[in-house]
Amino acid sequence: MSRANDVIALKLCLETLQATSSSLDLNQLESFIRLSSTQLLIDKFSTELQQAWDLYSLDPPTENLETVTKQDLPMIFDKPSWVSFKLPNATVGKSYASGLEIVTQKAITVTKIENLDDLGLCYRAEENLLTGDPLIAGDHSLIIHYVHQQQSYQQSIPFVINNNPRNLWKNIASDPQVNYWKADDDFQGLDGVYQWKLVAASKRGRSHAHVGGCRDDDFCLKVD
């Protein structure tokens, strides 16, 4: 295989490693190569990489990866050192609108951002604006596609969507069979004397609802 094909093969395999192992990310893999060697990476993840080569119908990189060097890392990881991207965190259920912060001294054009559709977000390249209503809480990875001097690049960045605290509260119905059970919500109204109206109501608090407990307070209206 040629050096270029070796680089492409290794890149695809590393992306597969990242996608199939929750304990790895490209930054860890890149550090591993920088601190040791590409061949040690191949040895360490031989089973996973063999599955990747089979998946992509690729030939493994040449013996000892002699043609792949640390100078190829920017191409392998699509991560030039002269640019970085930042996005503020989002929250499920809260409308999101934020520009993509681009930290660089070079002229680049962001063309698209991948992995947004399932999150309920979209990127408007002409405005450099990310908008939508976040759907899925968690730590996500977005892929930024951009162009510099007619050369295309892509770079993965982390993106956090926090859970909405209101969604963390459960509303579990209480058990009617427990002693002194009371309905979770109750109200009563009576006609009193001299045209007075009597009204009472009680609603179970969210801390009780969260564990399926009963209301603490109660009432009873009577008119003699």
Distances (CA, A) of 1 to 9, 40, 62, 74, 119: 10, 20, 6, 20, 39
Residue (of 221, 194, 110) closest to 157 by Cα position: 110
Say what the pLDDT of residue 7 is: 52
Say what the pLDDT of residue 211 is: 87
Q: Which residues of the chain, if any, have pLDDT below 70?
A: 1-81
- What is the phi/psi pair of residue 159, to 5°? -145, 125
Say what the pLDDT of residue 53 is: 57
CB 153 within 8 A of CB 146: yes
Say what the pLDDT of residue 9 is: 55
pLDDT tens column, 71-126: 444 444 445 667 889 999 999 989 999 999 999 888 899 999 998 988 999 999 99
Say what the pLDDT of residue 59 is: 54
Say what the pLDDT of residue 112 is: 92
CB 67 within 8 A of CB 3: yes
Say what the pLDDT of residue 85 is: 92
Say what the pLDDT of residue 192 is: 75
CB 136 within 8 A of CB 161: yes
CB 111 within 8 A of CB 133: no
Say what the pLDDT of residue 48 is: 62
